[in-house]
Chain A
Amino acid sequence: MSTLVLLTMTGLGLGALYFLVASGLSLIFGLMDVLNFAHGALLSIGAYGTWWAASGNLPGAGPGGAGFVLAVLFGTAVGTAAAVLLELAVVRPLYTRPREQVLATVGVGLAVPALLSGIWGSDAHPFPGPEALSGTFGLLGAQVPVNRVVLVGAAVVVLVALRLFLGRTRHGLVVRAGVEDRAMVTALGIDVRRAFTLVFAIGGCAAALGGALGGLYFGSVDPRQGTSLLIFAFVVVVTGGMGSVTGAAVASVVIGLVQQLANYYTAAGLGDLAVVVLLAVLLLIRPRGLTGRLA
């Protein structure tokens, strides 16, 4: 029983991490038809930004308490800025060439991890974090690491914020409409390119936050973390329906749990394999899963 609880909490934590990556990926694809291969790099930037700040490089930031919060905010802000830069400098000039947009993000997705390992080395660095978040707590007889709960909490906050943004604000309305029919949005006199930058900023922010908190989950940062999460985030996006934030949330939980439980109760690695094969199967039985609606 205690094993199951621990596995469930770990699966949920992993699912939360997937959601933070997949929500932005899904919005970006839904609105712009761009599969952002650099999204994992945005997560890595968030992780390294937080790690850098929490390691004492940013005045006021540190591994504990308010200092850690500041470090997370810093990492998230850097990731958001990188996402905006990515949209403005790399994606936007290729507006009329959708396939090249994807290719350009592939290039960025290769270059950023290489740059990170160039600056800080390709080995993993231990991730500093507050004492309070590195411990465990008892739940139904299991000792569950606190960081799982932090991740789930952050994912829930992001989910609620995204839903409020999409449902209650004019920018959110523009994004939802753009996912359905981009051309018609411009024909109503709305500059849809501003929505592009906005979804990149939102997606980058969520992914960078995922990176910052993922450091707690993994206990370390390394340049390849983001890229390896990306494929599982693709699985989530396709399972949940492209452009659907709620769908991504549900799919994240399912994928995270399936992966953890299958990895433990069957052969190691079978969960990862099952999830990846699930992506193929889903696409084949439901090819329209790629053109979901926003909810």
Chain B
Amino acid sequence: MSTATDTPDRTAGRPATAQAPAGRARLLRWWPAAVLLVLVVAPFSAVPVPGLLDGPLGSAGSLQLLATCLLFGALATGYDLLLGRTGLLSFGHALYFAAGSYATNLFLLEAGLPFALATVLGMLFGIALALALGSVSLRVTGIGFSMVTLAFAQAGSILVSRNPGGVTGGEEGRAAPSDLLPSSLVGIDNTANLYWIALAYLVLTLGVVHWAVRSPTGRVWEGIKENERRVEVLGLKPYGFKLTAFVVAGGLAALGGIVHLLLTGGSTPQTTTSDFTLSLLVMVVLGGSGTRWGPMAGGILYTWADHRLGDLAGSGAVADLPAVLRVPLSQPLFLLGVLFVAVVHLLPGGLARLPSRLRAASNRKETVVS
């Protein structure tokens, strides 16, 4: 099976290690572990990070922002399983995220189930939904698939905002019942725990995606992305493989929804909207679709920028600017939208391609000089 699909560009993602001296390369390979270690101990640190964060690293506010960044880094990574790894442009990923959040919340609120059980059931609900809707959506291909997923997500969004039977809370959303949550996950003092949960979710997502992509199934995904018809010619049915990717991504999103529920203390209808999916799309493309770290970097950067730009917009420094500068600067979504268009145009492959592009550019310069 693995030989059946050809795998171009296998080495394109890691030219750095190939060129660097062996010793340095071996060290460089361990950078994710080092970063992880730093992230794990971050809550114990009181180091100020001026410019990047408002308070010191270990403060509740900083941890909350960092946890949100990690959560969206993970979510974007999971979404890229569809976009960048299988070539599926889904406009409905928000649905499975929201499903995880709302289902878990409602199992707690309405059924009064214990937290662990509600979490498991919420996750299973998200997976089942992804399986059901994915198996239907994947009957069409190309932009048709995108629109079917959009339609289903929109239906979910309408359903949530109409507040059937008062269970979804309509436009207000619903707060999670703090008495039913473990006490270690409630309150501002426990932000560090939530932060570690978000970090664990990120590590899990990266691990699942990395493992899945390298599995035989992952190689078929790559084949589907390159040329679906060629996979068919080889006697493989793309449908099952695409559905697998859809369900894995949907399950990861549902789990992300649960983390979001804990992190924000509730479910909000904003997570059901098509704008939410579009922002995931922006994150992935910004960071670099189809690369190992790109979607994560995009998700972290986007979330951080969205948050900081929001702060910036409210700050006095911006209010004093002339209208030409103040108006665009006061709208994070405008800046991110423009940035997105710019990346699509000027930086195909996203930020993940930036180092190799710079290296290529400087190599070119060197050869010209010599």
Contact between B154 and A287, CB atoms less than 8 A apart: no
Contact between A234 and B150, CB atoms less than 8 A apart: yes
Given contacts A107-B337, A234-B150, whether A268 and B344 have CB atoms under 8 Å apart is no
Contact between B159 and A273, CB atoms less than 8 A apart: yes
Interface residues of B in 147-186 (CB under 8 A from A): 147-148, 150-152, 154-155, 158-159, 161-162
Contact between B139 and A103, CB atoms less than 8 A apart: no
| Chain B CB within 8 A of A72 CB | no
Given contacts A35-B146, A234-B150, A280-B148, whether A106 and B333 have CB atoms under 8 Å apart is no
What would be 10 A-B contacts, judged by CB atoms less than 8 Å apart?
A90-B341, A103-B281, A111-B338, A118-B328, A238-B147, A276-B155, A277-B151, A279-B151, A283-B148, A290-B144
Contact between B139 and A287, CB atoms less than 8 A apart: yes
| Chain B CB within 8 A of A269 CB | yes
For A106, what are the chain B residues with a Cβ–Cβ distance below 8 Å?
278, 281-282, 340
| Chain A CB within 8 A of B330 CB | yes
For B146, what are the chain A residues with a Cβ–Cβ distance below 8 Å?
35
Contact between B152 and A104, CB atoms less than 8 A apart: no
Given contacts A111-B334, A111-B337, A280-B136, whether A94 and B344 have CB atoms under 8 Å apart is yes
Q: Among the listed A103, A111, A277, A290, which residue makes an inter-chain contact with B333, where contact means beta carbons less than 8 Å apart?
A: A111
Contact between B155 and A273, CB atoms less than 8 A apart: yes
Contact between A114 and B340, CB atoms less than 8 A apart: no
| Chain B CB within 8 A of A184 CB | no
| Chain B CB within 8 A of A117 CB | yes
The 3 closest A-B pairs by CB, nearest first: A111-B337, A114-B334, A114-B333
Give the secondary structure class of B's interface. helix
Contact between B151 and A118, CB atoms less than 8 A apart: no
Interface residues of B in 103-126 (CB under 8 A from A): none
**Residue of B142, B148, B341 with highest tally of chain A CB at under 10 A:** B341
| Chain B CB within 8 A of A99 CB | yes
A93 to chain B, nearest CB (A): 6
| Chain A CB within 8 A of B59 CB | no
Contact between A287 and B331, CB atoms less than 8 A apart: no
Given contacts A104-B345, A287-B140, whether A273 and B158 have CB atoms under 8 Å apart is yes
Contact between B155 and A231, CB atoms less than 8 A apart: no
Contact between A284 and B154, CB atoms less than 8 A apart: no
Tell me the number of A-to-B contacts counted with CB atoms below 8 Å.
Answer: 124
Contact between B337 and A276, CB atoms less than 8 A apart: no
For B332, what are the chain A residues with a Cβ–Cβ distance below 8 Å?
114
Contact between B144 and A287, CB atoms less than 8 A apart: yes
Contact between B154 and A276, CB atoms less than 8 A apart: yes
| Chain A CB within 8 A of B54 CB | no
Chain A 66-99 per-residue mask, 1 if CB under 8 angstroms from chain B, else 0:
0000000000000000000000001001100101
Nearest residue in B to A268 (C-beta to C-beta)?
B162
For A231, what are the chain B residues with a Cβ–Cβ distance below 8 Å?
150-151, 154, 274
Contact between A283 and B158, CB atoms less than 8 A apart: no
Contact between B278 and A284, CB atoms less than 8 A apart: no
Given contacts A110-B336, A118-B327, A279-B148, whether A94 and B143 have CB atoms under 8 Å apart is no
For A108, what are the chain B residues with a Cβ–Cβ distance below 8 Å?
337, 341
B279 to chain A, nearest CB (A): 8
| Chain B CB within 8 A of A132 CB | no
